[in-house]
Amino acid sequence: MSEIKQHPQWSSRFAFILAATGSAVGLGNIWKFPYITGENGGGAFVLVYLACIALIGLPVMIAEVMLGRRGRQNPMSSMQTLAQQEGRSSAWSLIGSVGIVTAFIILSFYSVIGGWALSYIVEGASSQFVNADTETVGNLFSNLLSSPLQLILWHSVFMLIVVSIVGKGIKSGMEKSINLLMPLLFILLLILVGYAWAQGEFSQGVSFLFAPDFSKLTTEGVLAAMGHAFFTLSIGMGVMMAYGSYLPDSVSIAKTAMTISILDTLVALLAGLAIFPLVFANGLEPSAGPGLIFQTLPLAFGQMSGGVLFATLFFALLSIAAITSGISVLEPVVELMEEKLSIQRQLGAWISGGLIWFLGLATVFSFNAWSSWYPLDFIPWFQEKTPFDIFDFLVTNLLMPLGGLAIVIFAGWKMNQAKLQQELELGTLWPAFYSGLRYITPVGILIVFIYNLL
Ligand code: PHE
Ligand code: NA
């Protein structure tokens, strides 16, 4: 019991919003959202994605933070305690343990991509983008990808930063850095959107993003849209539960979750608005894949005045946004090692970080030596997928939505309703929220899964 009392808390609602926004806003918004939108044909995909954020993502986030705050421990122990309180099977703690596996896989590839962003700080600062054309920018990117050594170097730098911050304890420094840097990232995105508006094919970009053409949407695209709602909000694997475990009791979870979801969505849409007008103006393919932002934004920086400064700043802020997300992925792992295995935070961070670094090598090689190695080609879902693609698909489209499903079922069906109602303090919105949580959200997730199985 004493362990529960000692569990630290955020200093305020604002501190939690900052940390949770720091977790949510990251590569998912700026790197991933544009390229998967491009791969899935634009508008219709975006519409489904937005619907998934509102009808699935938001309720899952509310439920997950709530479970974390009631449990006040690492996700696995929290679920164990809560299941016990409600007289349910201890199998519910699987939400936490599967989440740990998910965390390992996510951070392994996230760190490699975070490394790309880090390396682009240097490229930007050394004027590599100045007056560069599509070919130069394309070569710059493929040179990076074709060098395992460089990728490993930057992946290592990224992991080192994440591990040393998590090792020290997330509260020190995190609140301050997010407080200052998030608004700055936002402003830079606005500048880029302004550039895209002035110099790019803005209206074509806007209609690509927002005019839905449902003939371009596949069932796989719908699954990807739902999966991305989980990925981008950092939900369904215990991160928000771990952060919720530090949340003071007085804070309104629903309002907070709403704020985080809106901020996250805004950043993603701004990134899309900055990138697609440039894609069309430069004759690039929206479906170019994971390199999309690295092949478009440098063109803009290369043309605009002050471009060297802006490029450096942008990739630095992107890296920081990625680091704050990376920190949040490692946090529940270390929290678990501390509370369950009594491994000191510092040591736990280094051990898990080392393992994750090693797993990351599979992603590094997916972009060069293993780029046409499809290890699970015999499984329909994993056909023509490199190890990186497999990791990404597995966590984003399967494990996180399954985790989210379990979370809403526990909150909506297995928990005492009065307790839940009291915890969430939704007032007149309660009945609508509660039936949404019990029916719309889980059924929505199941429908997307079932369609993809057929
Ligand atoms: N939400 C983060 C992003 O959009 C990624 C992330 C996923 C972070 C899962 C934590 C957990 O970049
Ligand atoms: Na995000």
Taking a 5 Å cut-off on Cβ, the residues next to ion ligand 2 are 24, 28-29, 232, 264
Cβ 30 under 6 angstroms from ligand 1:
no
CA of 373 to the centre of ligand 1 (A): 26
Helices (H) and strands (E) in the chain, counts: 23, 0
Contacts of 309 (CB under 8 A, 6+ apart): none
Cα dihedral across residues 271, 272, 276, 279: positive or negative: positive
Describe the crossing of helices 219-233 and 441-453 by its angle, rounded to 10 degrees.
Answer: 140
Residue 194's nearest CA partner among 280, 304, 268, 302 is: 304
Contacts of 400 (CB under 8 A, 6+ apart): 102, 227, 230, 231, 235, 236, 237
CA of 259 to the centre of ligand 2 (A): 13
Q: Which of 102, 234, 407 to mutate to test the pocket of ligand 1 (most atoms within 8 A of CB)?
A: 234
Neighbours of 190 (CB within 10 A): 13
Cβ 231 under 6 angstroms from ligand 1:
yes
The answer to whether 286 touches 44, Cβ cutoff 8 Å, is: no
CA of 418 to the centre of ligand 2 (A): 32
Describe the crossing of helices 58-71 and 400-409 by its angle, rounded to 10 degrees.
Answer: 70
Q: Length of the chain in residues, anyone?
A: 454
Report pLDDT digits (tens) over 283-292: 999 999 999 9
Cα dihedral across residues 338, 343, 345, 349: positive or negative: negative
Cβ 24 under 6 angstroms from ligand 1:
yes
Q: Which fold has domain 2-453?
A: Hydantoin permease (1.10.4160)
Of the listed ligands, the closest to the CA of 399 is 1
The answer to whether 374 touches 385, Cβ cutoff 8 Å, is: yes
Phi and psi torsions of 136, nearest 5°: -60, -45
CA of 432 to the centre of ligand 1 (A): 28
Half-sphere exposure of 227 (CA within 13 A, CB side): 21
Cβ 29 under 6 angstroms from ligand 1:
yes
**Residues 74, 62: Cα–Cα separation, whole Å:** 17
Of the listed ligands, the closest to the CA of 260 is 2
Cβ 111 under 6 angstroms from ligand 1:
no
Neighbours of 174 (CB within 10 A): 23
CA of 268 to the centre of ligand 2 (A): 7
Residue 143 class from Cβ within 10 Å (0-12 exposed, 13-18 middle, 19+ buried)? Answer: exposed
Cβ 103 under 6 angstroms from ligand 1:
no
**Residues 39, 278: Cα–Cα separation, whole Å:** 16
**Residues 329, 75: Cα–Cα separation, whole Å:** 12
CA of 428 to the centre of ligand 2 (A): 30
**Residues 196, 190: Cα–Cα separation, whole Å:** 10
Cβ 27 under 6 angstroms from ligand 1:
yes
CA of 201 to the centre of ligand 1 (A): 30
pLDDT in tens, the chain (454 residues): 444 446 778 777 788 888 899 999 999 999 999 999 999 999 999 999 999 999 999 999 999 999 999 999 999 999 999 999 999 999 999 999 999 999 999 999 999 999 999 999 999 999 999 999 999 999 999 999 999 999 999 999 999 999 998 998 766 656 666 777 788 888 999 999 999 999 999 999 999 999 999 999 999 999 999 999 999 999 999 999 999 998 989 889 999 999 999 999 999 999 999 999 999 999 999 999 999 999 999 999 999 999 999 999 999 999 999 999 999 999 889 989 998 999 999 999 999 999 999 999 999 999 999 999 999 999 988 999 999 999 999 999 999 999 999 999 999 999 999 999 999 999 999 999 999 999 999 999 999 999 888 8
ipTM: 0.99
List, in sequence order, the alpha helices (H) in 53-147: 58-71, 75-85, 94-125, 134-145
